[in-house]
Amino acid sequence: MSYIAFVPARSGSKRLPGKNIKMLAGKPLVVWTLEAFVKNKKIKKVVFSTDSMDYWDIAQQYIKSNKLVLDFRTPEQAGDKVKVFDYLKQNYNNIFKCREGNFVMGLPTVPFRNSQHVAEAIALFEKRAKPVFSASEYNFPVSFAFYLDENNGWKQAFNSSPLVTGITRSQDQKKAFHPNGALYVRSIESLESLETNTLYHNALPYLMSQKDSVDIDNEIDFITATALAKASVQI
């Protein structure tokens, strides 16, 4: 099987301006993801989807591979209210230039997904013949979650909340997991189906460590990622 990778990187981040090209341990954030895909031999093309020619120029400076191609998005297509999945589903023919084969997507805000993770997620997809999405464990038991009400009170998110049952030891809570945005693997053809309304439809989770799942959304996330990147270099 062969694959096409898709990496969306718009330029309009509000919480952390210029996030996708912010330098992380010596290279722009988006380059970490592009490198992970370019290194995989089963991936024949890496589509860099952006609304910024400056971003495209930066990607070309760091990625010296003929696998790398541009999908240029209009400002309307890259707005902060446009979901990546919706853009994919509406434009996959133009993005991939084919209806057959498979694609791998990774968000550039998850830099520590590497070529080994990519290979393992693809292997799971091929072994189980089902779409795959990456996930990691919550770093705190999700069972403790609650909502605030209008009177500054609270309401438990789950009926079995330890805040209600009194079973509050963290080791007594069930492990819970969440998608981490690092990897999605599925057939291009699946995007045609009306039943495919998310990238999680009929998909299997591929689990990654919390460290490798760091998702950069704000300055604190970036500081954390920088520290982890420096630590891995020192090791």
Positive/negative CA dihedral, 122, 128, 132, 136? negative
Looking at residue 186, what is its pLDDT? Answer: 98
Parallel, antiparallel, or unpaired: how do β-strands 27-28 and 102-105 relate? unpaired
Query: Mind listing the domains of the chain with CATH numbers?
Result: 3-138+177-234 (3.90.550.10), 139-174 (no CATH)
Parallel, antiparallel, or unpaired: how do β-strands 154-156 and 146-148 relate? antiparallel
Looking at residue 233, what is its pLDDT? Answer: 56
Parallel, antiparallel, or unpaired: how do β-strands 27-28 and 68-72 relate? unpaired
- Tell me if 131 sits within 8 A of 125, measured CB to CB: yes
Using DSSP, how many helices (H) and how many strands (E) does the chain show?
6, 11
Looking at residue 109, what is its pLDDT? Answer: 97
* 13: its two tokens: 């981040």
Looking at residue 146, what is its pLDDT? Answer: 96
Q: Is 94 in a helix, a strand, or coil?
A: helix
Looking at residue 202, what is its pLDDT? Answer: 96
Looking at residue 62, what is its pLDDT? Answer: 98
Residue at 27: amino acid letter? K
Looking at residue 14, what is its pLDDT? Answer: 79
The whole-angstrom separation of Cα 101 and Cα 116 is 21
Which residues, given as ranges, of the chain have pLDDT below 50? 234-235
Q: Is 42 in a helix, a strand, or coil?
A: coil
